[in-house]
Structure formats: structure tokens, C-alpha cells
Chains A and B, each alone.
Chain A
Amino acid sequence: MSASPFPLIPLCQLPAGETGRILRLTGDEGFCQRIREMGCGEAALVTKLSGTTMSLCRVRGMRLALNHRAAIGILVEHLPLAPR
């Protein structure tokens, strides 16, 4: 676990318009593998576009929709001042 100075929150709780860094993936191993392979692994920057039940976000230039169960397993550190 990284000693992040920023709060660690599930992706679904990241406010819209804000950016976070993925620090940990939890839950189903197969799902973690797939989202890592899609570029949403640890250390990737994720910008939340909208939503809480359906999280729309941008990662490595692609736009993704994740349902609540998926987004709650992605733990991010909120980077309030991160460049988009």
C-alpha cells in the first residue's frame, strides 16, 4: 500500500471533473487482470467525467463506462491539482 498524502477513495466517489491515480485494484482477479490490460492498472491517471452509479471516466485517452460494482473496486488517490 502506498503512503499517499492524498485520500484513497473508490473511483465511484471521485468527484466529476477531478483526476485520481489508481493505486489498488480489488475484487475479482479476472476483472482486475482485464482492466489492467485495458490500461487501467496501478499508477494510471483517471479523470472522472460524471456519474456515481455509472462512472464515466477517461484513462489513457479512452472513455470508459464502469458500473458501480466495478468502480467501487478501483481505489484511487484523489489528485485535486493534477493536470488533466
Chain B
Amino acid sequence: MAAAPRPGSEGADPALPLPAHIAGPPGRRRTPPERMPVYALVGNPNCGKTTLFNALTGLRQKVGNYPGVTVEKKVGETYSQHGHAMRVIDLPGAYSLAARSPDEAVTRDVLLGRRADTPQPDRIICVVDACNLERCLYFVHQILDLGRPVIVVLNMMDLTARAGLEVRPAELEEALGVPVISCAAVQGRGVVELRLAMSRRELPLARHSWTVPAPIAPVVAELQASLVAADGRPPLIARAEALLLLTDQDSVRVAGSTPLSAVTGAVLENWRRRWTGQGTDWSGTLIKARYEVIHGLCREVIRRTGDCGPSLADRADALLVNSGWGWLAFAAVMAVMFYAIFALAEYPMNLIDGVIADLADRVKDAMEPGDLQNLVTSGMIGGMGGVVIFLPQILILFLFVGLLESTGYMARAAALMDRPMSRVGLHGKSFIPLLGSYACAIPGIMATRTIENAKDRLVTILVAPLMSCSARLPVYLLMIATLLPGDAVPAATKAGLMFLMYALGTAGAFGFAWLFKRTFLRGDPPLMILELPPYQPPHFGEILRQMLERAWLFLKNAGTIILAISIVLWFLSTYPKHPDPAASPEVQIAHSFAGEAGRALEPLIQPLGFDWRIGIGLVTSFAAREVFVSSMGVIFGVEGAEGDTAPLRDALRAAQWPDGAPLFTPLVCLALMVYYVFAMQCMSTVAVVKRETNSWRWPLFQLAYLTGTAWVVTFLVYQSGRLLGF
């Protein structure tokens, strides 16, 4: 049996010396004094890394109670107890260095020093969930192989008693030989101690050693030597990579962006052929060997203090995931959310409406009538105000999404949804990005990085924009208000109509996923294993912070993109001036640049029941869907005599075709909502899909198929409605 060398210790292989920049006294490692030390925060998914990162750096990165919240590295700075700056990199959660998904690959590549944009960390902070120590220590075990100074943070120590466990940090520290810090990051406990440990000029290297199983030891040595000689890897990285190549049977995936040399590839292939002939399962043998060491360690460190029978959480899971009650609960959560969006938002919306109207009146009174007054009241206040009024409803949506994430229900919903999703070829893991896309498709698409299978990930990306995001909310709300005006219609009816739009988008996503998985992205039905996080009371501070962040983003968007588009649109709909100064606003806008452009577009959209004014809204809202509302504010504000202060819905209800027929009939309102359910009206989403797929092919395909579908479905809805006499 060949024992692995203790990195940096006297037992290290003298033929493979440490790289000069990290070499120090035996058993100790100093960080280079000339530059800011770089710490990497790593650990399994959902063990509290980002909470700790926020506590250390004062930043406010998103946290949540489900695996896969962080999918990209985040960098921040903190200070040692002596005031020296230290850089901290928060890395996506990973179960292993043998990365199986794009987010795990980020973690692996940073730790192995493969990323040109990120320095290899000098020190590594391994965050482990104290309630799941055995599983978490597997990743720690791999990290210790890298030979870097490590600090282990035993997070969630406040939950161990509830889990019937007594975890002894001192014993773990003694066994591993690295600092072990007890922590409850959510409560801020242990952060000071961690900072003190980080401030130490020298950190002991791990006493950790383990024996690579005898049949595998020679190939580890041969691969390591080849990786050093032929691939130029540093010795310790080479050893870690050799172990990874033997753990993960897909060497291309392990190599990632740094393909193996032909020499190393030949060494690996030679051993593989030999083992395959002998029937040796080298991957399983290596993993088992690590777990045997870890199991022994856990016997020393953990003591069971409580009953391990079914807990309340187990019973709740059985109810929420594996019974008809689960679907009932899911439907109830959705129904309450949509009802609240209408019922609770009314008062603050009226308040904002009053403030905007008052502001427009004051500006109108203070300025001389003319183009400038019209620009400020119709173009700027009317355009922006028409969107800002929907802020309360968007905040309510984010409150509910935050509650689902924070309590741990999100992962249960994903497990519940696995069955219907598997019918279209996806698995429950795809549901979390799709559910996140209800808030915004951009983080939803980024969250697909947790999906291991490339085809499943691509299908999820392609259908994610079909989930109705918060930017569609203003469009739906305006159309519902136009379709069902006044207080006579109960909020439940309006909520039901909106739920229908969300359901239509979801059905579309499922339908297209089914189609893609049976045609050009064909693959085996997916296997799913999902870790269920513990139930927790909602963390209202964090939810509030995320709501404020979204509110700020929304307002910033309204104050920049929407304002700019409103001004441009005002210009295009005001100039050139009609030769007759007494021309009516309708004649003026028809004469303008916007009118010309809209009329050029009209033949394409008239079969959908839309006129050129709606066409202008469709074009401008490609920047962001909510711009449709501000565009309508500008266009109909120009047309209407009192348009700048009158509610937009009244202006829409009064709008007519040239023959005097109403433009926004109930059927047109419905058709317009259906159009927005399917159309990919968002430049930012196109850009993110390009980045995530690393190609223009997929975003262009997505744009084409979604826009085409939007046109066809809207056409069918409108023309069928007409045939039925609506």
C-alpha cells in the first residue's frame, strides 16, 4: 500500500518538490508577503458559504435555503485583525472536485489554478455543514490533497442538537491538524474566530494522510509524474488531478479547459485498458477508500445524542412531496401568491398613482405649454410613471419567491415537479431555474449551471424565457385592468386570469421541452438525486434585502432604459410636425416617424388584432417587456387631450381603429397577453443565453422560435375569437 505524501511535510516526495512560491518551513505555510492573500470559500451546496462570505466582506450576495444559489465565483475583501486586506473568493458549492456541472467546474478550476482571471487561492476555507459532516468531509478530504493551508468552518453548529448530534470541533482539529472553527453564520457566531484564524501569518498544514488503495497507487504516481513532466502541472496539483482522473471516468470533463497531453492521455488509457480487462472499478475503489478514512474520523468526532426516527421534517416531506396533499399545497401557495399580487398591492398602487398624477399636474402648471412641457409630462413622467406604479406587485412576487427559497420549500417543489417534468424529458432539478425565471429569466438561466447533463441544461435554457417573469407583470396587469376595469370585478377573477397566463407559459415551456428532447436534443430520461435542505423559519431580513435590491434595480431600470426609450419614443412620435399646427393629436402621431414605422409594421401584426400603435410598443419593448407600458403611456398620452394625467387604461379603452371600432377589445387584450407569454422580448436574456451557451446559434434560435410561436398562437387566439363572435 502506498501512502500519500503529506504535502509540505518531511514525508513529501523529494522528487516532486513544492512550487517555490508556496514552499515554506516543513509543516507550515506562509502566504507570500508581497501581495494580498487570497482565500477561497468552498464547500458542499447549501452549507452557508455565501452567508459567511457576506459576514466577512460586508457584501450582500444572494443567499437561499436550497442547493445551487451561487453559480459563479464572487470576490470580496475583508481585513485581518491587524487591518491588512485579504481577498475572499466565494465559489459555487460542489460535492466533489470531480466536477459534473458548470458551476462545480468553476470551483474545480479556481482551486486547481486553471482560471486565467483568478489567482490560485493561497488558503482555502472549507465550510462544512455540521449536521452532514460525513458527506461534507469527502470534499474537504479532496481539498486537503491540494496541499494548501486549510481552515475548516463547522457551520450550522446551532442545528446539531436538534439533529440529535454532538459534534466535537477540538477532536476534528486534532485529527486533521488544521484550524477548525465552530460557526453559526446566520447568527454571526464564529465569524470573529474565523477572521482571527485567517489573520494568522502561518497556518499548519494538514496532518491528513490517507492510503491510496494498493492497485491504484502505482498509476497515481505515474500519472502525477506525467502531468508534471508533460503537462507542466505543479506537483501537488498534478497529484490531485491524477486522483480526479481516476475518480471521474470522463477524462475530457476532468481536464476541462486544460486538455491532457498525448503522453498523459496514453498513460491513462493504458491503465484503463488493463483495469477494464481485470474488471477493476478504480473510481468506486478510490471513493470507498476516502469514505473509510472519513467514517473512522466521524466516529471520533460525532456522538449521537438523540433519536434518529422519523422527524417532523420527514413527515412534512412525505406529505409535501409524495402525496396528493403536496399538489394541493403547491396549488394553494400559487393561488395565494397571485391573489396577494392583486389584493395587497391596491393601496400602495393608488398611492403611487396619486403621486405621479400630482407631479404631472404641478409640472404642467409650472411650465409654458409647448413641446418641452409635453416632453416632461407625457414623455418622461407619463412613460416612467406608467411602469413605476407596478412596483408594489413586483415586490409581492419577490416576497413569495423569497419565502419559498428561505423556508426550504423550493427544493420540495422541485422534487414534487420531477414526475410531470420527467414526462417531457426533464427532471426536477430543472424546476428550480424555471421557478426562478418567474422572477427573472436571467438568474433562472444562470441557475441552470447546476444541471449536470449538457442537453438537459440547454433544453432548460431554451424554455426558461417562457416562464412569465416579473417584467411581464406590468403588461398583464395593464391588459387585465383594460379588460376587466373597475372594482366591480373581484380580485379573484383578475388573479385567475393572470394565473392562466402563468399557466400558459409553463405549459408552453413543458411542451417545447418535450419537443426538443424528442428531436435535436434527444437523450436518456434523466436521473435525479436532490438533497433536501432543512426546513427553516423564513429569514425576513434577507428576504427584505432581496426585495429592496429588486426594487432598486426596477427603479434604476425605470430611470435609465425606460426613461431613455420614453424620450426617444416621444421624439419619434412628435416629429416631424404636421404642416397644420391645428392637426389633432391622432393625425400628428400618424404623421410622425413613429407613425410611419408603425404603419410599415402593421401588415405583419394586423392579423393578430394589433394596430401600428401597439406595433410600436412591441418593437420598443424588445429592450425590456415593461417598456410596452411606458410606450403606450407616451403614445396615448400624445393622442389624448387629457392623456398625461388620465389613467392609461382609460386611454386604451378609448382607443379606436380609423373606422371607429374599439382597438383594445377584450379579445385584443387577451391576444396581447398571449403574445407576451411566448415572445422573447428581452435583450438582456438574449445576451445571457449567448454567454451561457458560448454561441450565437442558440440565442438566435431561441429568439426565432419564441417570436414565431408568439405570432402563431396569438393569431390562432385572435382569429378563433373572431370566428366565435368575440
B531 at the interface (CB under 8 A from A): yes
User: What chain A residues lie within 8 Å of B249 (beta carbons)?
Assistant: 29-30, 33
Q: How far is the CB of A55 from chain B (nearest CB, A)?
A: 9
Whether B418 lies near A60 (C-beta < 8 A) is no
Q: How long is the Cα–Cα vector from A37 to B243 in the complex, in angstroms?
A: 13
User: What chain B residues lie within 8 Å of A58 (beta carbons)?
Assistant: 314
User: What chain B residues lie within 8 Å of A69 (beta carbons)?
Assistant: 422, 525-528
Whether A34 lies near B317 (C-beta < 8 A) is no
Query: Using a CB-CB cutoff of 8 Å, which residues 44-69 of chain A contact chain B?
Result: 47, 49-51, 53-54, 56, 58, 60-67, 69
Q: How long is the Cα–Cα vector from A43 to B416 in the complex, in angstroms?
A: 29
Q: How long is the Cα–Cα vector from A29 to B526 in the complex, in angstroms?
A: 13
Among B8-16, B127-135, B465-473, B618-626, the stretch that binds chain A is B127-135
B98 at the interface (CB under 8 A from A): yes
Among B58-66, B280-288, B347-355, B567-575, the stretch that binds chain A is B280-288
User: What chain A residues lie within 8 Å of B526 (beta carbons)?
Assistant: 67, 69
User: What chain B residues lie within 8 Å of A63 (beta carbons)?
Assistant: 313-314, 317, 531-532, 534
Instruction: Select from chain A the residue with minimum beta-carbon distance to B294.
Output: A39
Q: How long is the Cα–Cα vector from A73 to B163 in the complex, in angstroms?
A: 29
Q: How long is the Cα–Cα vector from A66 to B428 in the complex, in angstroms?
A: 10
B612 at the interface (CB under 8 A from A): no
Whether A32 lies near B284 (C-beta < 8 A) is yes
User: What chain B residues lie within 8 Å of A56 (beta carbons)?
Assistant: 314, 317-318, 321-322, 415, 532
- Contact A30 to B250, CB < 8 A, known contacts A36-B288, A38-B135, A70-B528: yes
User: What chain B residues lie within 8 Å of A38 (beta carbons)?
Assistant: 95, 135, 138, 529, 531
Query: Using a CB-CB cutoff of 8 Å, which residues 530-545 of chain B contact chain A?
Result: 530-532, 534
Whether B163 lies near A61 (C-beta < 8 A) is yes
Chain B 158-172, CB within 8 Å of chain A: the 1/0 string?
000001010000000
Q: How long is the Cα–Cα vector from A39 to B128 in the complex, in angstroms?
A: 15
User: What chain A residues lie within 8 Å of B530 (beta carbons)?
Assistant: 64-66
User: What chain A residues lie within 8 Å of B248 (beta carbons)?
Assistant: 30, 33
User: What chain A residues lie within 8 Å of B309 (beta carbons)?
Assistant: 84
- Contact A36 to B131, CB < 8 A, known contacts A30-B249, A30-B250, A54-B321: no
User: What chain A residues lie within 8 Å of B534 (beta carbons)?
Assistant: 63
User: What chain B residues lie within 8 Å of A67 (beta carbons)?
Assistant: 418-419, 422, 427-428, 526-528
Chain B 121-162, CB within 8 Å of chain A: the 1/0 string?
000000000011111001000000000000000000000000
Whether B138 lies near A39 (C-beta < 8 A) is yes
Whether A65 lies near B321 (C-beta < 8 A) is yes
Instruction: Select from chain B the residue with minimum beta-carbon distance to A43.
Output: B288
User: What chain B residues lie within 8 Å of A17 (beta carbons)?
Assistant: 310
Chain B 415-451, CB within 8 Å of chain A: the 1/0 string?
1101100100001100000000000000000000000
Q: How long is the Cα–Cα vector from A53 to B18 in the complex, in angstroms?
A: 51
Partner of A73, one of B132, B288, B415, B527: B527
Q: How long is the Cα–Cα vector from A61 to B132 in the complex, in angstroms?
A: 6
Task: Identify which of A41, A47, A61 gathers the most chain B CB atoms within 10 Å of its CB.
Answer: A61
Instruction: Select from chain B the residue with minimum beta-carbon distance to A62.
Output: B132
Whether A39 lies near B428 (C-beta < 8 A) is no
User: What chain B residues lie within 8 Å of A53 (beta carbons)?
Assistant: 322, 419
Which residues in B have some Cβ–Cβ distance to A below 8 Å? 95-96, 98, 100, 131-135, 138, 163, 165, 247-250, 283-284, 287-288, 291, 308-310, 313-314, 317-318, 321-322, 411, 415-416, 418-419, 422, 427-428, 452, 524-532, 534
| Inter-chain pairs besides A56-B532, A61-B134, A84-B309, 6 sampled, C-beta below 8 Å | A34-B100, A39-B135, A64-B529, A65-B530, A67-B428, A67-B528
Which residues in A have some Cβ–Cβ distance to B below 8 Å? 16-17, 25, 27-43, 47, 49-51, 53-54, 56, 58, 60-67, 69-70, 73, 84
Could you give 7 example pairs across A and B, Cβ below 8 Å? A38-B531, A40-B529, A54-B322, A61-B131, A61-B132, A67-B528, A69-B525
